């Protein structure tokens, strides 16, 4: 097979595998940036960094991520909430809980020891705390989903964010997120990732058929 034909087939599969931002599949809106959003404290450059997250793309920050030399966390804005693991009394709040794929995120997710938590005004709930070269927190060293509840057009909606959190230092990546457009309806962690469209499949099939036809024409008879 010539290199040009091989390149055409490869480009077809690359195009098919590309992900997009703000795609709607059924009632779920899925977003994935062109590259993961990196939250990373770099020595000598900043003391504390912040990253606002607008889940539904309406121009309003729904959650704010923070990263510092010793801490990674998330703050809920306004009446929005995050699914956490409650700390034992008399402590209040707790660490953000990592959820596996398929976990149902909704009003019924708040079962002991998990709870929907809005936090205190201005406070951040921990993804990871880093001291003495190590990290502590449920999300440390995990690639998992964060359950979110937020207000959209005056109604409550549920969603998830796929995060990867470092084990030994304040490093995290926001890979993608999705939300259910039907008010009050639960969403499964990882749901909404778009399947290849029929148009994409036909496009790749066309590239492959054209490449094979050209190859056949070049074969000796």
What residues does each domain of the chain span? 1-19+196-221, 25-193
Alpha-carbon distance values, 155 to 74, 81, 97, 120 (Å)? 22, 13, 24, 21
Question: What are phi and psi for residue 34, nearest 5 degrees?
Answer: -60, -25
Q: Helix (H, G, I), strand (E, B), or coil: what is residue 105?
A: strand
Pairing of strands 187-188, 104-105: antiparallel
pTM of the model: 0.77
pLDDT tens digits, 16-54: 344 445 665 689 999 999 999 999 876 655 578 999 999
Question: What percentage of the chain has pLDDT greater than the value 90?
Answer: 58
pLDDT tens digits, 91-121: 778 899 999 999 999 999 988 899 999 988 7
pLDDT at 221: 54
SS3 annotation, 26-75 = CCEEEECCCCCEEEECCCCCCCCEEEEECCCCCCCCCEEEEECCCEEEEE
As a whole number, mean pLDDT of residues 187-193 equals 95
Confidence of residue 197 (pLDDT cuts 50, 70, 90): very low
Q: Find all residues with CB under 8 Å of 149, minimum gap 6, and list them.
A: 80, 81, 82, 83, 105, 116, 156, 157, 158, 159
CB–CB of 138/165 below 8 Å? no
């Amino acid at each position: 097979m010539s290199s040009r034909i091989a390149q055409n087939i490869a480009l077809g599969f690359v195009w098919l595998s590309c992900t997009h931002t703000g795609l709607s599949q059924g009632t779920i809106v899925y977003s994935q940036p062109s590259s993961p959003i990196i939250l990373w404290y770099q020595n000598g450059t900043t003391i504390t960094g912040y990253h606002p997250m607008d889940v539904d793309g309406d121009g309003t920050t729904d959650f704010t991520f923070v990263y510092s030399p010793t801490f990674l966390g998330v703050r809920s804005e306004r009446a929005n909430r995050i699914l956490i693991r409650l700390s034992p009394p008399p402590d209040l709040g707790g660490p953000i809980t990592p959820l596996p794929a398929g976990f149902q995120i909704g009003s019924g997710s708040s079962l002991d020891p998990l709870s929907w938590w809005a936090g205190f005004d201005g406070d951040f709930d921990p993804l990871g705390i880093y001291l003495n070269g190590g990290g502590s927190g449920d999300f440390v060293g995990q690639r998992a989903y964060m359950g979110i509840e937020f207000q959209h057009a005056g109604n409550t909606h549920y969603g998830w964010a796929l995060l990867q959190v470092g084990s030994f230092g304040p490093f995290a990546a926001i890979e993608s997120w999705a939300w259910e457009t039907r008010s009050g309806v639960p969403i499964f962690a990882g749901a909404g990732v778009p399947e290849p469209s029929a148009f994409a499949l036909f496009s790749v099939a066309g590239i492959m058929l054209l490449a094979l036809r050209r190859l056949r024409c070049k074969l000796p008879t």
